[in-house]
Amino acid sequence: MTNQNPLLQKWNTPFETVPFDKIKNEHYLPALEEAIKVAREEIVEIKTNTEKETFNNVIAALDSKGSLIEKVSSVFYNLHSAETNDEMQSIAKEFSPMLTAYSNDVTMDPVLFEKIKVVYDQKGSLNLDPEEATLLENKYSGFVRNGALLKGADRDRFKEIETELSKLRLDFGDHVLKETNAFELLLEAEDDLIGLPEFAIEAAAAAAKEKGREGWMITLDFPSFGPFMKYSERRELREELIKAYASRANHNDSSDNKETLKSIAVLRHERAVLLGYSSHSAFVLEERMAEKPEKVMAFLDDLLDRSFSIAKKEIDDLQTYAEAKGFKDTLQVWDYAFYARLLKKEKFEIDDEILKPYFKLENVIDGVFTVANKLYGLNFKPRTDIAVYHPDVKTYEVQDNEGRHVAIFYADFFPRAGKRNGAWMTCFREQHQGENGDVRPHVMNVCNFSKPTESKPSLLNFGEVQTLFHEFGHGLHGMLSKCKFHGTSGTNVYWDFVELPSQILENWAYEKECLDLFAKHFESGESIPAELIEKIKSSATFHEGRNTVRQLSLGFLDMSWHSADPSSITDVEKHEKEIMKKTELHPAMEGDSISCSFSHIFQGGYSSGYYSYKWAEVLDADAFEFFKEKGIFNKEVADKFRENVLERGGSEHPMILYKRFRGKEPSPEALLKRGGLI
């Protein structure tokens, strides 16, 4: 098996891209087993080296080891998120514990840690450059934070916790995906379609046909769920749909996540205490720009103070508006999107139906590629000779203006049963300096946009345009990296800094100079009218108070699970309702549980970090002001952002990098001004 296993062979493919066409599920576990064996041998080489410990033979050597594990696990986990199946989910239950056990063995190896400590203790006399100093600090603290100083029973318990958490995180995600896929709202009467625009009806008909059903199918995938909540005049169906969405993995069955998430939170807290921290949040935030839980809570509270009264007035005004339209009840959660859309359309004469024809997916992709060219001199060349894991996936070679290779870019933009909801950026290979020079990255963006129908291409609403720009911003962070080490390259940065490159790029989607490049009517080819662009900009702050409070509520919920001992929380729904009281704008909904499907914090890496979206908004608003002052395609500013942020990864503290770009620390005034909150 080892000799024939494609995951263990040298990839003689274009740019050493993953040979997805040769990889089968049966290859993963044997490949990981062999990769771990090779990595252990590499660690032994470092441990048994009798030369004096140096940065190069300990720290840099350690950073370069385990490449085969990275190769195997990146393929497996990326497909586990984007193209999974029952067999892969079963494999994951063995795969993750094997990886966790190896990681624990390395970080708790006393001989290896002693070598790291020898180098760390003499760091002041080593004449390291900033990136080397950062890597040394990261390696030392990484070992300490992963239990290197623990002894005896504490050490054993730490390993048990890590293994259990790796299983529970997988279970959590599998449950959410299963519940999302299981729900189907089949509409069999045309009356059930009242209010839905043509694009939503066509997509629903295609979804039903795909599943061999007669009628129109509404699912919990956002391209289906979102338009129905905005447009459907069938209030009882909106209620049914949002209750199904909000109660995912909260049905007291085999896919229920209540006990799973409580176990995750409790184990995280226990791990933090073992390591000497007061809470999981204190542990996490030690390596964030925010530094400690108190600072995060102060940040969230301050924004809530500034936004809640505005949000409350927005909802009160929406209630008055709905009543003027004949509504005779209190606005519920399932009414918000419907009436907010109508009010926004009346107030600004704009909505998704008007805008979508100008945002054909292929044109938006071309647009974001053009933005990357104007800012950073990048060109995206379609490739048909690079293997993909699904026919929907497109591949590109990224070159600079001199034709030099920069990266490989994968784009996977449509929903399907084996793919989790949402949007994300990931890598199959990260940039670093290898034995033969600069190793360029293989980067992927994954989204879930409406698929083309028989009569129309994929047309994006403006929120989806922002999503594409957002994820592409993450992609640029990975593609343009120019670092020495795996551990400092690309998006390996503080979690509350990683959203800056993504969120700043969203700003271009509001600018006429950018939209004129690609926003053309999919039928007539006419450019988006200037008055529509003005309406996009003028409507950008519509219900910004409510949107801010919603985001803050998720940050507060995240911190409530992680900033104190969660073992006393027995009732998940009751806990949520208590936490959400101070941000509540609508009557509470029975049966819902955000926590049960809050994959960002219980499956992904955002635990004690959900605040970072708002934190990064402060950075991106302040940074974009610089572009606005000089011109949104000003090369001088773009070069400064590229050289000091995008290329530098996590090679230095993010505030140092930011100030080098901006010349000063960020001010929240730009964000509040942009959002119309001051």
Q: What is the DSSP string of 178-211?
A: HHHHH--EEE-SGGGGTT--HHHHHHHHHHHHHT
Kindly report the CATH number assigned to the domain that includes residue 49: 1.20.1050.40
Q: Is the pLDDT of residue 416 over 80?
A: yes
Regarding whether 99 and 11 lie in a shared domain, the answer is yes
Q: Is the pLDDT of residue 15 over 80?
A: yes
3 state SS of 426: strand
Confirm whether 174 is domain-assigned: no
81 and 420 Cβ atoms separated by less than 8 Å:
yes
Burial 388-399 (b: 16+ CB within 10 A, else e): bbeebbbbbbbb
Regarding whether 241 and 135 lie in a shared domain, the answer is no
Cβ neighbours of residue 584 closer than 8 Å, sequence gap 6 or more? none
Q: Is the pLDDT of residue 1 over 70?
A: no
Q: Is the pLDDT of residue 69 over 90?
A: yes
pLDDT class of 351 with cuts at 50, 70, 90: confident
Confirm whether 192 is domain-assigned: yes
3 state SS of 406: strand
Q: What is the pLDDT of residues 317-328, one digit of tens each?
A: 999 999 999 999
Confirm whether 219 is domain-assigned: yes
Regarding whether 136 and 224 lie in a shared domain, the answer is no
Regarding whether 114 and 37 lie in a shared domain, the answer is yes
- Element (H or E) spanning 577, and its range? helix 572-580
At 670 the pLDDT is 78
End-to-end CA distance of the chain: 64
Regarding whether 59 and 138 lie in a shared domain, the answer is yes
Cα–Cα distances (Å) from 72 to 3, 90, 412, 420, 664, in that order, read: 15, 17, 20, 21, 42
pTM across the whole model: 0.91
Regarding whether 134 and 16 lie in a shared domain, the answer is yes
Name the token pair of 482.
Answer: 């120019």
Residues labelled catalytic: 471
Strand partners, 444: 410, 426
Q: Is the pLDDT of residue 584 over 70?
A: yes
Confirm whether 659 is domain-assigned: no
pLDDT class of 672 with cuts at 50, 70, 90: confident
Q: What percent of the chain has pLDDT over 90?
A: 92
At 536 the pLDDT is 94
- Boundaries of domain holding 221: 183-246
Single residue among 199, 226, 246 that ends a domain in this structure: 246
- Element (H or E) spanning 471, and its range? helix 462-479
The amino acid occupying position 22 is: K
Cα 669 from Cα 393, distance rounded (Å): 41
Q: What is the pLDDT of residues 454-471, one digit of tens each?
A: 889 999 999 999 999 999
Confirm whether 514 is domain-assigned: no
Regarding whether 101 and 37 lie in a shared domain, the answer is yes
- Element (H or E) spanning 288, and its range? none
What is the pLDDT averaged over residues 390-406? 97
Q: What is the pLDDT of residues 472-515, one digit of tens each?
A: 999 999 999 999 999 999 999 998 899 999 999 999 999 999 99
At 2 the pLDDT is 59
Number of domains in the chain: 2
What is the pLDDT averaged over residues 395-423? 96
Regarding whether 41 and 136 lie in a shared domain, the answer is yes
523 and 357 Cβ atoms separated by less than 8 Å:
yes
Confirm whether 507 is domain-assigned: no
235 and 334 Cβ atoms separated by less than 8 Å:
yes
Confirm whether 207 is domain-assigned: yes
Q: What is the pLDDT of residues 218-257, one digit of tens each?
A: 999 989 999 999 999 999 999 999 999 999 999 999 999 9
Confirm whether 505 is domain-assigned: no
Regarding whether 202 and 135 lie in a shared domain, the answer is no
Q: Is the pLDDT of residue 92 over 90?
A: yes
What is the pLDDT averaged over residues 129-155? 96
Q: Is the pLDDT of residue 355 over 90?
A: yes
* Residue (of 613, 377, 410, 632) closest to 480 by Cα position: 377
Regarding whether 136 and 76 lie in a shared domain, the answer is yes
At 477 the pLDDT is 98
What is the pLDDT averaged over residues 632-654? 97
Q: Is the pLDDT of residue 3 over 80?
A: no
Cα 279 from Cα 286, distance rounded (Å): 11
Regarding whether 220 and 89 lie in a shared domain, the answer is no
Regarding whether 115 and 11 lie in a shared domain, the answer is yes
Q: How many angstroms separate the most distant Cα atoms in the chain?
A: 83
